[in-house]
Structure 1
Amino acid sequence: MMKASLLALLAAVLCVDLGYSLRCYVCNEEPSNLNCLASKECASHEKYCMTTYVSGGLRNEKDFRITKKCAADCSKSDVNLGVSSISTNCCDTWLCNISGASSVKTSFVVMAFGVLASFLCVLRVGL
């Protein structure tokens, strides 16, 4: 009898919709992830927390912007052009978008590789 009661309780708990909405960190074009610590309860149709990290510029003139929000649809993307890059990350658990989209930070490596390749090309043509 005790096992049947526990089984019924477990089934009831698993079938009950708790009604909790997703909660995400939100900010709009902030220069630092430290400015993105406010959170918001998402609408019922918004199933993802989205973080977009944008960087652009050269050397000391490099500019970074982070946007975090609730989203109904989301697909991860990484576009890196060397001098500018955009990365979008998505997650679907409560307050999961606490960190910035870090994959864009490789743009320095891509840019250095492009400069080195150009330099080697110029040297080769000059010979």
Structure 2
Amino acid sequence: MDLQISVFLLFVLFTAGHSLSCYECSSVMGSCADQKLKTCPSGSYQCMSSTVVTQRGQISVKVKTKDCAVACQSGSMNFGISKVTTSCCNTDQCNVQDAPDPSTVPNGNTCYSCDDQSCSNTVRCSGTEDHCIKTTGTFGGQSLVAKGCASKSFCDATSVSSVQGISCCEGNLCNGAQSVTQSFLFLCCSLLSYFLLH
């Protein structure tokens, strides 16, 4: 019995001082070629890598990011003009590879999406996006709404953490059409930041 307790205490002693190390970078229009290794701060238990592609008319911007994360969910979201793919892992230096570009292969699901004028547009879901998502919030007294497709993992994360203003559903067009009054792009960026950094 004493041997078991001693082994347990040694295990706790050696693992308590270990900090996770992850790659860190941010790159627009390319891969994370200049990534640096960093020791994660206390409370960060995962490494993440994400690829965000935003399309406005003929202009397309691709942002690749890697960093430490408190909590992270692998999957993808598609808000019509902006798509994100996130890969998460929990061992040292496991985020060396860039997250893949968001899938363009439709999976048969369709959800409502928003632009600057309304939320009656539709977007075809792709890859692992098997749920519709709706986010609501206020900024400067204005009501903001964003809608699109999301992987089940993102939806599960919001239900576990009781995030306010985000809801998911299964089924084509289950996230309902509704008008939008203010900057949809601002709300999308806020939502993406939440999933990437929390």
Both proteins in one fold, TM over 0.5: yes
TM-score of the superposed pair, with normalisation by structure 2 = 0.43
Distance 1:34 1:50 in 2: 13
How far 1:87 moved relative to its partner?
1.5
Query: What are the within-5 Å matches in structure 2 for residues 44-55 of structure 1?
Result: 44-55=42-53
Is 1:25–1:36's contact at 8 Å kept on the other side of the alignment? no
Distance 1:77 1:34 in 2: 19
Match of 2:69 in 1: 71
Match of 1:87 in 2: 85
Match of 2:21 in 1: 23
* Structure label with greater radius of gyration: 1
Is 2:48–2:87's contact at 8 Å kept on the other side of the alignment? yes
How far 1:59 moved relative to its partner?
9.7
Match of 1:42 in 2: 40
Which amino acid is 2:50 matched to? Answer: T
Match of 1:4 in 2: none
Q: Deviations over 1:69-102 (max 9, x none)?
A: 1111222331124553112221110011111221
User: Do residues 101 (structure 1) and 99 (structure 2) align?
Assistant: yes
The structure with more helix, counted as a fraction of residues = 1
TM-score of the superposed pair, with normalisation by structure 1 = 0.63
Q: Deviations over 1:33-62 (max 9, x none)?
A: 243421110012111111121012279743
Match of 2:7 in 1: 11
Cα distance change on mapping 1:69 and 1:34 into 2, 3 Å: closer
Cα distance change on mapping 1:57 and 1:66 into 2, 3 Å: same
Which amino acid is 2:7 matched to? Answer: A
With a CA cutoff of 8 Å and minimum separation of 6, indicate the structure with the bigger relative contact order.
Answer: 1
Residue identity over aligned pairs, in percent, reads: 28
CA RMSD, 1 decimal: 3.2
